[in-house]
Amino acid sequence: MRLKPNEEDVVKQIVQGLRVNGIAIFREIIPRFGSVTGSDRLEAGHPDLHGWFKRGPSFAPVPVYIEVKAPGRHKKRPAQIEFITRAKADGCIAFFAQGWDDVVREFHNFGITLPN
């Protein structure tokens, strides 16, 4: 029996929480070594989750990028850091998360309230 959730558990929790709150979010599944699918062409460091947040009919959607890490796992690849940093600088909602509390905090930093 696992005491800490793994990354897959955290991804599912975040996806469910965002979708319940009306945020379009999708999971990027990177194929295993040797695969020749279209996902192999993703930019290095592309995060686990991507989507958009729509404030209302008169506003353009804001892109959302979330790189999920298992609780206690802090290793971030340079390409991941660069992607999140660049996306955030360009006005996207972009961050690393180890659980739903991180998501709530980061959306709050963008002026968006999500329930805890």
| The CATH fold of domain 7-109 | Trna Endonuclease; Chain: A, domain 1 (3.40.1350)
Q: pLDDT: is 77 or 72 the higher one?
A: 77
Model confidence at 54: pLDDT above 60: yes
What distance in Å separates the CA atoms of residue 109 and residue 113, rounded to the nearest whole number?
9
Question: What's residue 11's pLDDT?
Answer: 94
Over residues 5-13, mean pLDDT: 90
Model confidence at 43: pLDDT above 90: no
Q: pLDDT: is 53 or 6 the higher one?
A: 53
Instruction: Please write the tens of the pLDDT for every residue from 23-42.
Output: 999 997 665 555 455 445 56
| Short-list 50, 69, 66, 56, CA closest to 4 | 69
